[in-house]
Amino acid sequence: MTIEELEQIAKSAQQDRDKYDYEVNVCMDLACASQGAGALKDALVKAAEGCGKKVCVRRTGCMGPCSHGPLVRVDPDETLYRKVAAKNAEAIINSLGTEPVPELKSELGEHFDRQVRVVLENAGYIDPEKIEDYIARDGYKALLTVLTEMTPNGVVHRVTESGLRGRGGGGYPTGLKWGTVAKASGDVKYVVCNGDEGDPGAFMDRSVMEGDPHRVIEGMAIAAYAVGASKGFIYVRAEYPVAVSRLTTALRDARRHGLLGNSICNTSFNFDVEIRLGAGAFVCGEETALIASIEGRRGTPRPRPPYPASSGLFGKPTLINNVETYANIAPIIRNGGKWFFNMGSERSKGTKVFALTGKIANTGLVEVPMGIKLREIIEVIGGGVPDGHIFKAVQTGGPSGGCIPAEMLDVGVSYDALLKMGSIMGSGGMIVMDDTSCMVNVARFFIEFCMTESCGKCIPCRAGTAQMYTLLTRICTGVGTMDDLELLEELCSTVKEASLCGLGQTAPNPVLSTLKYFRHEYTEHILDKHCRAGVCNMGAVISEIPSEVVA
């Protein structure tokens, strides 16, 4: 495949599109599909056949505002319809060329206006199983440009220049990581994509893998060229069967077009990718545990150093990045590092995809520039808390993150600002809670999660989380004492300081942040035996409550 051939494919794909006057895009992502998008698409295809207009019906990846699904967008005038049922298909097709169907038209202008789409630029515009669609939107152009015009060093330099930081949660500068792996000595190197989105309440990576799989593959191939690797692995959760099948199709198509394999674009660069399945272990999102899992072992982390950059998969230098990080690479190469650097806040560049869920009107995926105020995300883009309830907190970073109260909402979103508030950026889950959520119970929920997901290798995490869970259960059931609270705080710092990997080190965050901002709820539970949200059952029989847990 050469650049000319690529342009040829893009051109013919464009010609195919030009044959039609209208494009009807149906979102077929999990949320819309579970509301009947499949039947809707069939109905649209049927209606389009008999209408006499030139209409192309296409299935696409996630368009974003899932709570309004199933979604249909009609191009070229970009009319977005919400909550469309199969019975509305004919009305939509008949309206083409005239006024849009008023009762289905969505009023989400503001929701989209505040967003900046880089990672999700193709979401809702391409059929994820058609490589031509991706190529027509400048896909694989970056890879071929890199191979023919840039040196590996030049690529690392451009990524460094962009200021991109790891999107998996840690926020390590991507360019620096690439540089380290590129400099590492070794004849064999690996590139790994971390698609083990274990963080409950987050689904950005799933949507990217399902909606735009080629973007991830292209990012990985560019990374492989930059660091000198010829083999890549994508580690995907087994809970995401659709993502696995889309990626499999995408890999097959890329190989068929000579975009993976040997001598790509007639250069000496060889690269291929294999998919590895996870099996439901949150800890496998940690890089050393992920490596163990790819090697077919139990996913337990090991102490670092040596870092994977020098000794990773099968003992070779390994580059591990998150799905969203790789998804940012192709646009950075195409538009230049400066372009990316100019977006976002001072130390966090570019955009970030968040999965906005919980007690909020517009749930779904949003992509916003870094530095945007939390309030703007929740009140404008998210549409605020529905049903007249009062906003209480927003949880970011999953089980490793923290809860941010209403008074902190005017802080701009960045890695450092969130860290300062006692939370983390995490992979991008953003869960909104209202006055019906009890913060002590929320903390208990996360500690229970960390307790069951702890791999058991190091004691502080294995035993510490279990003891914290017991203490929180005591508080939630009304038998807790102020001594329990003191012990809980002590345990938090022990687990935080002494654990081996990120899971344990961040496990106390939900407790610490709720203690920091919602301490009054803890004391209410202990002293007044009262849960203001009415979640905790204070009258539980005391004999049922364990006084301690043997870990």
Partner 1 sequence: MRKNGFARYALIETLHTVQSSFGYLDDDAIRFVAQSLRVPLSQAYGVATFYHYFTLKPPGKHTVTVCAGTACYIKGADKLIGAAEKKLCIKQGQTTPDGQVSLMVARCVGACSRAPVALCDGEVVGEMTQGQILEQLERWTTE
Residues lying near partner 1 in the complex (CB under 8 A): 30-31, 33-35, 66-67, 197-203, 206, 238-240, 276-282, 293-299, 314, 355-359, 363-365, 395, 398-399, 429, 431, 433, 437, 442, 445-446, 449, 453, 455
Buried b (16+ CB within 10 A) or exposed e, 511-529: bbbbbebbeebbebbbeee
Buried b (16+ CB within 10 A) or exposed e, 254-272: beebbbbeeebbeeebebb
Instruction: Give the residue with the Cβ less far from partner 1, 29 or 133.
Output: 29
Q: What is the three-state SS of 172-216?
A: CEHHHHHHHHHHCCCCCCEEEEEECCCCCCCCHHHHHHHHCHHHH
- Rounded distance between C-alpha atoms, residue 159 and residue 153, angstroms: 10
CB contact at 8 A, 25 and 75: yes
Instruction: Give the residue with the Cβ less far from partner 1, 137 or 359.
Output: 359
Q: How far is the CB of 434 from partner 1 (least distance, A)?
A: 9
Instruction: Give the residue with the Cβ less far from partner 1, 145 or 311.
Output: 311
Instruction: Give the residue with the Cβ less far from partner 1, 131 or 377.
Output: 377
Place of tokens 């998919």: 275
Q: How far is the CB of 72 from partner 1 (least distance, A)?
A: 17
Place of tokens 């998996």: 168
Q: How far is the CB of 433 from partner 1 (least distance, A)?
A: 6
CA 493 centroid distance within chain:
29
Instruction: Give the residue with the Cβ less far from partner 1, 119 or 150.
Output: 119
User: Residue 290 corresponds to which tokens in the numbers above?
Assistant: 């992920």
Buried b (16+ CB within 10 A) or exposed e, 116-139: bbbbbbbbbbbbbebbbbbbbbbb
Instruction: Give the residue with the Cβ less far from partner 1, 8 or 34.
Output: 34
Instruction: Give the residue with the Cβ less far from partner 1, 53 or 297.
Output: 297
Q: How far is the CB of 329 from partner 1 (least distance, A)?
A: 23
Instruction: Give the residue with the Cβ less far from partner 1, 339 or 445.
Output: 445
Q: 352 has which bridge partners? A: 368
Instruction: Give the residue with the Cβ less far from partner 1, 279 or 542.
Output: 279
CB contact at 8 A, 119 and 346: no
Q: How far is the CB of 339 from partner 1 (least distance, A)?
A: 30
CA 113 centroid distance within chain:
21
**Rounded to 5 degrees, what are φ and ψ at 179?**
-60, -40
Q: How far is the CB of 18 from partner 1 (least distance, A)?
A: 34
Q: 299 has which bridge partners? A: none
Q: How far is the CB of 200 from partner 1 (least distance, A)?
A: 3
Instruction: Give the residue with the Cβ less far from partner 1, 287 or 453.
Output: 453
Query: Among 470, 404, 465, which residue's Cα sits nearest to residue 433?
Result: 404
C-alpha angle 109-115-121 in degrees, rounded to nearest 5: 105
Question: How many Cα atoms are found within 13 Å in the side-chain-facing hemisphere of 395?
Answer: 27
Q: How far is the CB of 188 from partner 1 (least distance, A)?
A: 14
For residue 469, the tally of other CB atoms under 10 A from its CB is: 22
Q: How far is the CB of 293 from partner 1 (least distance, A)?
A: 7
- Rounded distance between C-alpha atoms, residue 61 and residue 26, angstroms: 8
CB contact at 8 A, 318 and 309: yes
